[in-house]
């Protein structure tokens, strides 16, 4: 490139760069202007939105809704912003007010009712948890033998004299634990009367079930005889008296008195109705487990017991086993595993029948089980012990013993700590001599007879007699 051409090129390049710089400066200025315009528009829209919202709020306050508006501002601003008609940037008008006023009033009254229920729940929870629960814990800590069948404090709160203190005493009346401790002497009678009431309701369920099954004159006569028997609560202890909860698994067989504290029946605080506590079976979930009861009669008969008399406690004490002959597998000379017989206790047998064979013919159950001979039973016990999971040991009573000092319940240091007693130990971890005894920790929300404490089904080989 010649010197003259190079000079012209450099001059041209300088001019073009100047043009580009000008265009870039203009572009940046336009972008900044757009950002500023958008920001101004957004700020103006926000001012208009706030003005519209405040105008609606002012009118609502004028007609008496200031308390709920104030609560919405402090607790649920999002709900306030979403009230009918409040959103928007158009200026507030009388036409808007007349249009949205009915919906606004309806929404605020619904929210008022919701807040009242929340306040009521909080009030009841405060009295129940801080005043009744410690007294309940104190009583149970001194009466561990009734823990698995006693009402929870949530249920005691619905019974007199505690109901009067929690529900009926004025909100501005200051109550203390002493007011509840004063009724400790009434606790035994209160618990007994509660259990009697629930037992009566269970007997009614049994009676209704027998009436539904009565489809002939003969059956009706038999049903009447059975109804007479139901006057005696001992029928609840029978191994064939089995209940179920419609809320949880049908494989959860509920016997008496476990049914009294079944988890689904005690974890229903009625927050939607403004209540914190609950009554037993408030949702009508309990019904007679007809199928399980039918299978139980067959299995109990195979064990040589009278289904109309034997209790579940007696069957557990006898500790017998049955084999499901339908689940026996074929063993050949080449079979490495010769444990071909599936055996289990009577409780698991009922469950097994429901889960594995309920779709088979009616006589399948009657022909599908056999009791074990003594040799097979010995092998079964040994196999169960070998396959058993290590469950938690019992808890030291003294470690969890509450006391009352200066009209207040005092919890022991180990109340929330592990106080399990090691098998074979003569003292607990804290050094107590166990003279007050031990007990099994009880959680009604996870209780189930087929847990680790109950031997699971096992397989054993054929036994030559």
Please give, one letter per residue, the 3-state secondary structure of 222-263: HHHHHHHHCCCHHHHHECCCCEEECCCCCCCCECCCHHHHCH
**How would you classify the pairing of strands 403-405 and 408-410?**
antiparallel
Q: Any idea which residue has 């008195």 for tokens?
A: 257
Give pLDDT, residue 210. 56
Give pLDDT, residue 378. 94
**How would you classify the pairing of strands 395-396 and 341-344?**
unpaired
Q: Would you say 158 and 432 are in contact if contact means Cβ atoms under 8 Å apart?
A: no
Give pLDDT, residue 34. 81
- Give SS3 for 452: coil
Cis-peptide into 161, omega within 30 deg = yes
Give strand pairing partners of 405: 408
Q: Would you say 324 and 250 are in contact if contact means Cβ atoms under 8 Å apart?
A: no
pTM (2 d.p.): 0.78
Q: Would you say 165 and 175 are in contact if contact means Cβ atoms under 8 Å apart?
A: yes
CB atoms closer than 10 angstroms to residue 449: 17
Comparing CA positions, the residue from 105, 152, 397 lying closest to residue 263 is 152
Low-confidence spans in the chain with pLDDT less than 70: 1-4, 208-231, 249-251, 267-272, 332-337, 391, 442-453, 465
Could you say which DSSP state residue 311 is in? B
Who contacts 100 (Cβ-Cβ below 8 Å, separation ≥6)? 56, 84, 85, 86
CA geometry: angle at 288 spanning 218 and 196, to 5°?
100
Q: Would you say 74 and 36 are in contact if contact means Cβ atoms under 8 Å apart?
A: no
Q: Would you say 456 and 345 are in contact if contact means Cβ atoms under 8 Å apart?
A: no
Give pLDDT, residue 234. 87
Give pLDDT, residue 214. 47
Comparing CA positions, the residue from 102, 50, 41 lying closest to residue 80 is 50
Tell me the longest C-alpha to C-alpha distance in the chain: 129
Strand segments (E) across 18-145: none
Give pLDDT, residue 352. 94
Q: Any idea which residue has 């629930």 for tokens?
A: 198
């Amino acid at each position: 490139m010649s010197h003259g051409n190079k000079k012209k090129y450099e001059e041209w390049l300088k001019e073009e760069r100047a043009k580009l710089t000008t265009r870039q400066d203009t572009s940046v200025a336009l972008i900044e202007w757009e950002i500023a315009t958008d920001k101004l528009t957004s700020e103006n829209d926000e001012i208009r939105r706030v003005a519209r919202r405040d105008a609606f709020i002012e009118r609502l306050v004028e007609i008496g809704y200031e308390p709920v508006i104030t609560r919405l501002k402090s607790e649920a601003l999002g709900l306030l912003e979403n009230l009918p008609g409040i959103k928007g940037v158009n200026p507030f008008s009388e036409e808007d007010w007349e249009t949205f006023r009915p919906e606004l009033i309806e929404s605020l009254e619904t929210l008022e009712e919701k807040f009242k229920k929340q306040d009521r729940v909080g009030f009841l929870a405060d009295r129940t948890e801080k005043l009744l629960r410690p007294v309940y814990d104190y009583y149970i800590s001194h009466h561990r033998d009734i823990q698995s069948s006693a009402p929870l404090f949530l249920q005691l709160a619905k019974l007199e004299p505690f109901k009067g203190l929690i529900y009926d005493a004025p909100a501005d009346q200051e109550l203390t634990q002493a007011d509840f401790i004063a009724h400790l002497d009434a606790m035994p009678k209160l618990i007994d009367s509660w259990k009697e009431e629930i037992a009566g309701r269970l007997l009614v369920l049994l009676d209704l079930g027998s009436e539904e099954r009565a489809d002939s004159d003969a059956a009706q006569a038999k049903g009447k005889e059975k109804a007479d028997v139901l006057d005696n609560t001992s029928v609840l202890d029978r191994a064939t008296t089995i209940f179920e909860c419609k809320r949880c698994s049908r494989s959860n067989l509920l016997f008496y008195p476990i049914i009294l504290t079944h988890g689904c029946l005690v974890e229903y605080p009625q927050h939607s109705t403004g209540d914190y506590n609950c009554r037993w079976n408030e949702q009508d979930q309990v019904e007679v487990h007809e199928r399980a009861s039918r299978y139980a009669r067959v299995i109990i008969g195979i064990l040589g017991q009278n289904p109309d008399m034997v209790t579940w406690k007696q069957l557990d004490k006898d500790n017998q086993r049955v084999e499901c002959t339908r689940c026996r597998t074929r063993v050949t000379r080449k079979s490495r595993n010769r444990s071909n017989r599936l055996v289990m206790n009577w409780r698991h047998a009922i469950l097994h029948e429901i889960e594995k064979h309920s779709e088979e013919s009616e006589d399948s159950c009657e022909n599908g089980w056999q009791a074990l001979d003594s040799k097979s039973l010995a092998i079964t016990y040994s196999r169960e012990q070998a396959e058993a999971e290590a469950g938690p040991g019992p808890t030291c009573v003294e470690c969890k013993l509450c006391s009352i000092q200066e009209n207040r319940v005092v919890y022991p240091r180990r109340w929330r700590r592990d106080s399990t007693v090691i098998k074979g130990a003569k003292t607990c971890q804290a050094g107590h001599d166990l003279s007050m005894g031990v007990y099994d920790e009880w959680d009604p929300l996870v209780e189930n007879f087929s847990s680790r404490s109950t031997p699971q089904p096992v397989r054993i080989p054929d036994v030559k007699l």
